[in-house]
Amino acid sequence: MSEQQEVNKLPYILTALGTLFLTMAILHFYGYLNFAREEEGLLVADFGLVTLGSSEAGQLQARPADYVAECVDGVMILHATRHNGLSGLLVDGRQRVVRCNAQAVPAAPTSP
């Protein structure tokens, strides 16, 4: 008869848990884990729509806004120029994502 030695599993369990917590701490330290509360992600800025040809179109300021828009995979992404790394999705008042086409802006027709 052969006797099998009983293996102590406690060091294996502690090593696995320690590795898990250390990995999460390193990912959080380098910014790959972000624990944001719902209040922090609600509203960065409020935007309005000015239609072409309206009286409001003539009252726009010459200074540009602090945001740059980009079309990524059919979704409008806004990047803040003042706050490095701050970007987000453009949504309407009902929290629906604003879609975009990755096409060039059409040229205005010229009259002969």
Q: Concatenate the DSSP letters of all residues of 64-81 into one string.
A: PPSEEEEEETTEEEEEES
Task: Specify if 47 maps to a domain.
Answer: no
Q: What is the mean pLDDT of residues 3-30?
A: 91
Element (H, E) at 20: helix 10-29
Which of 37-46, 48-57, 74-83 comes out lowest in average pLDDT?
Answer: 37-46
Q: What is the mean pLDDT of residues 1-12?
A: 82
* Domain count along the chain: 2
Task: Specify if 110 maps to a domain.
Answer: no
pLDDT reported for residue 80: 80
- pLDDT of 94 over the 70 cut: yes
Q: What is the mean pLDDT of residues 36-65?
A: 66
- pLDDT of 36 over the 80 cut: no
Task: Specify if 32 maps to a domain.
Answer: yes
**Calpha distance 98→77 (Å, rounded):** 9
Half-sphere exposure of residue 20, counting CA atoms within 13 Å on the CB side? 6
Task: Specify if 14 maps to a domain.
Answer: yes
Q: What is the mean pLDDT of residues 20-39?
A: 82
Task: Specify if 111 maps to a domain.
Answer: no
Which of 5-14, 19-28, 44-53, 64-73 comes out lowest in average pLDDT?
Answer: 44-53
Classify strands 75-80 and 87-89 as parallel, antiparallel or unpaired.
Answer: antiparallel
pLDDT band at residue 17, thresholds of 50, 70 and 90?
Answer: very high
pLDDT reported for residue 109: 61
Task: Specify if 3 maps to a domain.
Answer: no
**Calpha distance 85→77 (Å, rounded):** 12
Task: Specify if 68 maps to a domain.
Answer: yes
Task: Specify if 112 maps to a domain.
Answer: no
Range of the domain at 14: 9-37
